[in-house]
Structure 1
């Protein structure tokens, strides 16, 4: 998940904003701000196109950010809380009357600092999650391989015993067919397990945005 855009607005007037990627964020943000003001709720989550807009509404000031992942609501919420706390600690915001141009001087840099911080934390978390999931897959794969090897060892023992017990050509042919059937059964298991592991790794990589969708 990446926070790609953020802004602070007094009503519909954007006091400071920053976009990490190109796009018409300002136009969409204006629409979202209008919806936030109409709802007048402390927190809102609105999907616009391929981005999710999260807002925090405190005393007429809207803190807004856009992310590219609808599943993660914790990171944007923490980002907006940090931005609002920093903004409200600014002594100029408590002046009466409130002068936005003075209060948000250079606040674009603050937005940039927190966007980089929370995006980096998210990347680190995704990598850790990916490593953990890959380790789990490897463990499952190892267990399945061990089971296959155990089955193969039992098969070899069975083969040795059948070799000792072969007395006629007819019995030998029948046993070979049985062994071939058992071998194909285990071979199919190996193929199914391999495909399942590959699909699991691909799903993990897609869910953590290592492979872009």
Structure 2
């Protein structure tokens, strides 16, 4: 569950991008950007291979990230919203001044890296807390099962004790009393 690639594009032109793992993300990103431009929707999710590409289009700028299939839909949406807010707040990163050759693009790669690492770390924390919750649930179920087994064992011991003492059993059972009276007569 991790972010592996992120980029910002104006149309099909990638303005800034960052890859955390090896792979041919640029080719896939080009295909996704073309599909996003054709669809003209503000948010899209496209599955390609073992990755899911999430996009957010605001004011002609497309914010894109690639995640593995295990990640939910909400986290990439929050990631893209934070990246777009940061991008739009900075006046130097407006469409007129932002170009791939500009040093601002390199600076924004650091911003992408910061957000990707932050969200990847949060995903790891979520995984750990999820595992802890699952372990707690299993522990609770096991405790309940042990309690049920103990109760069953107690009931079984009571029945075993009654069966061991035929006199007590005979006295307690009304049918047994009738049978013993008939035998006596």
Normalization by structure 2: what TM-score?
0.83
Contact 2:2 2:71 in 1 (8 A): no
Greater relative CO (CA pairs within 8 A, separation 6+)? 2
1:47-68 Cα deviation digits (max 9, x unpaired):
0011110000111111000111
RMSD: 1.7
Determine the structure 2 residue equivalent to 1:41: 41
| TM alignment of 1:176-195, pairs within 5 A | none
Structure 1's 99 and 16: CA in aligned 2 closer, same or farther, altered over 3 A?
A: closer
Determine the structure 1 residue equivalent to 2:152: 151
Contact 1:93 1:99 in 2 (8 A): yes
| TM alignment of 1:66-85, pairs within 5 A | 66-69=66-69, 72-85=72-85
Query: 1:99 deviation in Å?
Result: 3.6
Normalization by structure 1: what TM-score?
0.73
**Cα distance between partner residues in 1 of 2:94 and 2:108:** 16
Determine the structure 2 residue equivalent to 1:125: 126
Which segments of 5 or more consecutive residues in structure 2 lack a partner in the other structure?
A: 168-185
Which structure is larger by alpha-carbon Rg, 1 or 2?
2
2:115 aligned with 1:114, yes or no? yes
1:19-74 Cα deviation digits (max 9, x unpaired):
11111111111100100111111100000011110000111111000111366111
Displacement over 3 Å in runs of 4+: none
**Cα distance between partner residues in 2 of 1:159 and 1:148:** 16
Which segments of 5 or more consecutive residues in structure 1 lack a partner in the other structure?
A: 167-213
Aligned length: 165
Query: 1:112 deviation in Å?
Result: 0.7
Q: 2:53 is paired with a residue of what secondary structure? A: strand
Determine the structure 1 residue equivalent to 2:51: 51
